[in-house]
Structure 1
Amino acid sequence: MIIGHSAGGFLAVSGAIKSGLSKYLAGVVSISGLFDLQPITFSFLQKELKFTPEEVMRHSLLSSKEKLPFPLHLIVGEEETPEYMRQSEMMKEVKKASLTYVSNVHHMNILNAFSDPKSPALKVIENFMLDKQPSTTI
């Protein structure tokens, strides 16, 4: 199991695809992940990252319709920005992933939902690991 948040969510998915280890994984969980790099080219980050259109297309996980070789579960806060919501919903659709919305959290505090060992957020990951259908909203 690989789990990542934000850009780490992107790295968890892309790393699992490219590492050759996907056949050994129970799955990947991406928390408030970033999957479409195109919007970054319109942000202040582009000045530092200098993405070319070719790099954006090659590395954006949403640009490929290819089926993932492992189960993917997405977790996103209900108070996320519209762009994070859009990307998670698109990833669910394009990659046939499961998706859970966490109530009353956003990008910067969603990880707090996992701090209690008895939290519903951790139960979602546990159910995913056990190949049970995770909750869609917690």
Structure 2
Amino acid sequence: MYRHLTSQDAIDRAYNPRLGVPDVEGWFAGWAQRSEEARRKLGCRLGLPYGPTLAEYVDVFPATRPNAPVHVFLHGGYWRSFSARDFSFIAEGPVARGVCTVVVNYALCPTVPITEIVRQCRAALAWTWHNIAEFGGDRERIGVSGHSAGGHLTARMLSTAWQRDYGIPDGIIKAALPISGLFDLEPLRWSWLQPTLQLSGDEILAQSPMRHLHTVPVPLAVAVGGAESDEFRRQSAEYVAATGAKLMEIEGRHHFDVLDDLASPYGKLWRAVESLMG
């Protein structure tokens, strides 16, 4: 079916991180609680629309200094679950370091296909470039990260024709960090996700980052947990080999707790973002 994986069960075990992590629901509940606390503690502007549908909004967590660097976060959930509100906690580290943070919401499969989610994320980044100065952010210093499906979306942002499609400079992204991303979508059409994602062969070709490597040079690192499945680590390593990015394998981290290294102002992943931004 896909490489050495000859059954749906094998693909599901390789690509469903919930199967290998105890108390997954506890992790999700913890994210929700931390996000509620972040919204309460940090100054934030919620539900700012970047498009015409209810799902197209961003939550902005301004920095406490003017002309601050900007960190845009694209959430995961296999394109079918979660919202920006579940990931407000990501802003804790960046804001503590004086960085304006934008958490992007988007519509989910099967209501829309992955192709539309990619378009929405691009629209959110274009909105950020046009509007972030209102919230103290410097549009000339925008970095992007994303986790899981958001890692895929982060990589897709790097092959965007910004000037052609949005009338803004092609180099708006100054740094990128896909975390635990999916760079080849092919195995997913043989997985438990297919009834929801409804991937076609054409969409797999069009939306797999491995087939559309970025054309504008961007400082790029790719992160994955050292305790993640062989397939997640292989996909990250192959994307790194194709792009010349830096590979960060975070020792002992699984698919979910790897985000702690982004949300902490002293975490390895947040420090990597700062280093990429220069």
Amino acid at match of 2:196: E
Q: Which protein has greater RCO, CA pairs closer than 8 Å, 6+ apart? A: 1
Task: Kindly indicate whether residue 202 of structure 2 is the aligned counterpart of residue 54 of structure 1.
Answer: yes
- Work out which of the residue numbers 122, 125, 150 in structure 2 matches 1:8: 150
- Work out which of the residue numbers 29, 33, 42 in structure 1 matches 2:177: 29
Amino acid at match of 1:101: E
Count of residue pairs the alignment pairs up: 129
- Work out which of the residue numbers 76, 86, 89 in structure 1 matches 2:237: 89
Percent identical = 29
TM-score with structure 1 setting the length = 0.84
In the alignment, structure 1 segments of 5+ residues that lack a partner are 131-138
Distance 1:118 1:3, change over 3 A: same
CA distance in 2: counterparts of 1:52 and 1:102, whole angstroms: 33
SS at match of 1:100: strand
- The answer as to whether partners of 1:74 and 1:88 remain within 8 angstroms in 2 is yes
- Work out which of the residue numbers 251, 255, 258 in structure 2 matches 1:107: 255
CA distance in 1: counterparts of 2:222 and 2:147, whole angstroms: 10
Matches within 5 A, 1:68-79: 68-69=215-216, 70-79=218-227
Q: Which has the larger radius of gyration?
A: 2
In the alignment, structure 2 segments of 5+ residues that lack a partner are 1-142, 163-168
Across the aligned residues of Structure 1 and Structure 2, the Cα RMSD in angstroms comes to: 1.7
- The answer as to whether partners of 1:68 and 1:95 remain within 8 angstroms in 2 is no
Distance 1:98 1:68, change over 3 A: farther
Q: Kindly indicate which of the two structures has a greater share of residues assigned to strand.
A: 2
- Work out which of the residue numbers 41, 44, 48 in structure 1 matches 2:192: 44
Question: 1:67 Cα shift?
Answer: 4.7
SS at match of 2:171: helix
